Structure 1
Amino acid sequence: MPPDLPIGEFSHLETSEGPAEVLHAPASVRRALVYLHGACGDPRAAEAFEQTLSRYATLVAVYGERSCGSGHPGRFYWNGRAEPLMHRIDAALAAVAAQRGGLLDTRQPLLFGYSQGSEVAQLLTERWPERFPEVILGGVPSTPSVKSLAKVRSVAIVGGSREFLTPMRTGEWLLTHNRVRARLFILAGAKHGSFGRHAEADLGEVFDWLLSAPDAAP
């Protein structure tokens, strides 16, 4: 990889299909992770656990399509159109792989959707389950869809101890009872929109579990 490529810290990237925020992992880590922010949320929210993340994957965060307006400059929300979003994701992954001299596996990236982004993530898994076998759904506002997640390998559901957890608990139960490998992780002290004081350790546990399935992506 280029010696001046920032490792373990966020950088902005303009791609042929729009902007992305990137957190590069070391060259030895080839896995990619696509992050979908919440409505008017921060594409760089993973700064809360960036040291942990860099051990597992290079994060690529694309932006929602609709502006949140002058009250939230630079923030966006999603329009729910899966195919154009998938096109932008592929363009962003290709651009990041080029930055890394090809040292990025873009075939089956991890998918992490937060709040509204978790609902958009489910649109992608229903349409392209073979592309996103391992999924993290954070701050889930409504019960995760068994139909949308039936063909994925593993689903980690992440919620804060200070937010409404009923949809997440219900989702874990429904997925598990429909033979989808799923687990709810509760972040101590975290409210909606945050990952809590122990984000590095807590998210490390999430990634360890997600990637511990016998057939998980290497």
Structure 2
Amino acid sequence: MQPTLRRLGLLAWLAAAASGCGRDEQAHAAIRPLATQRRLALPVEVYTLNIPDDLPGFAVPGPDGANPKMLFLHGMCSAGVGDVQAFQFAANEHGGILAIRGDTPCDDAGVLRRHSFDLDKLDARIRAAFEVSGGVADDLVLVGHSQGAYLGERLAEQWPQRYSRLVLIGAPTEPSAARLRHVRGAVMVSGEYDVTTRMKQAATELQSAGIPATYLEMPGAKHGQMGDAERVFGEAFTWLEANALPRKP
């Protein structure tokens, strides 16, 4: 099968999976700027990030307002905000997280979006977003959901020093140990009612290849849903901190 046809097949799978989820994110909650959050002593929450020549992103700061050290890539035809809100406290505790929105709209309003498959463009957008946030796009924990997991795997294959640790959720294809042979560690995640064998098998193959990896499951979750996300992602980030290989000089 030609690459273009494989890509079209993947898009069809992702669109079908997204059709039953993410629609509630069209009416996502208002997002306060970080300055307002600090001034009012508000609890941890997602804030907007204005990125020049790009769509606004969103982020959760690290402890004491530190610049984010993790990256989130949302799934097909999603707003993405609701996903990050589902584990915002775990994200804050473990270094903060930054997300960019997909560059291709899925609806007329442009609220629901997907990412194109141009890795160079995606990497450039990520680096620009971290520059705006004051963080550094290097040695990141990449959290990818569905299409974001598919793209995250390929970003880590091409730039393993930048995307060095992974949390991949509900990938549409089984993550490959060959592609991820240079990462420091990986957590494979699936919803209880998703195709769990895909992510379980990926974790096993990564372990066999000498890559620190584990599998976690979100209870009661279908594809595109976040079940018990604060606990699950807290466990994922804690596991990576304890088990990832040392950073190469």
In structure 2, distance between residues paired with 1:85 and 1:31: 18
1:174 matched to 2:205? yes
Which residue identity does 1:129 align to in structure 2?
P
Once the 2 structures are TM-superposed, how far is the Cα of residue 69 of structure 1 from its aligned partner?
A: 2.1
Are 1:209 and 2:239 counterparts?
A: yes
Q: Does residue 74 of structure 1 match 2:104? A: no
The counterpart of 2:85, out of the listed 47, 58, 69, is 47
Please identify which structure carries the higher helix content: 2
Distance change (3 Å), C-alpha of 1:163 and 1:130: same
Cα displacement (A) at 1:121? 0.4
Shift of 1:55: 0.4
How far residue 214 of structure 1 moved from its aligned partner, in angstroms, is 6.2
Partner of 2:96: 58
| C-alpha distance in structure 2 between counterparts of 1:194 and 1:3, whole Å | 27
| Counterpart mapping for 1:19-168 below 5 A | 19-27=56-64, 29=66, 32-44=69-81, 45-70=83-108, 73-97=110-134, 104-168=135-199
Q: Which runs of 5+ in 2 are unaligned?
A: 1-32, 39-43
How high is the TM-score relative to the length of structure 1?
0.87
Which residue in 1 is equivalent to 2:46?
10
Q: CA deviation at 1:213?
A: 2.4
Give me the identity figure in percent. 27
Q: Deviations over 1:35-66 (max 9, x none)?
A: 10000123211111111211012211111121
Equivalent positions of 1:185-204 (< 5 A) are 185-196=216-227, 198-204=228-234
Shift, 1:126, TM fit = 0.8
CA change 1:17–1:179 in 2 (3 A) is farther
Name the structure 1 match of 2:20. Answer: none
Q: Mind listing any 5+ residue stretches in structure 1 that lack a counterpart?
A: 98-103
Instruction: Quote the Cα distance in structure 2 between the aligned partners of 1:49 and 1:160.
Output: 15
| Structure having the larger proportion of residues in strand | 1
The answer to whether the Cα contact below 8 Å between 1:142 and 1:167 also exists between their aligned partners in 2 is yes
- What TM-score does the superposition give when structure 2 sets the normalisation length? 0.77
SS at match of 1:148: coil
How many angstroms does 1:181 deviate by? Answer: 1.1
Counterparts of 1:3 and 1:16, CA distance in 2: 18
SS at match of 2:63: coil
Q: 1:214, 1:82 → 2: CA distance?
A: 25
| Alpha-carbon separation, structure 2, partners of 1:11 and 1:163 | 30
Deviation at 1:143, TM superposition (A): 0.5
Distance of aligned partners of 1:3 and 1:52 in 2 relative to their CA distance in 1, 3 Å threshold: closer
**Which structure 1 residue ranges, 4+ long, deviate > 4 Å from structure 2?**
28-31, 214-217
What is the one-letter code of the residue matched to 2:98? V
Q: For residue 125 of structure 1, what is the amino acid of its counterpart?
A: A
Shift of 1:29: 4.7
Cα distance in 2 for partners of 1:205, 1:24 equals 19
Shift of 1:163: 1.0
Q: Distance in 2 between matches of 1:209 and 1:74?
A: 33
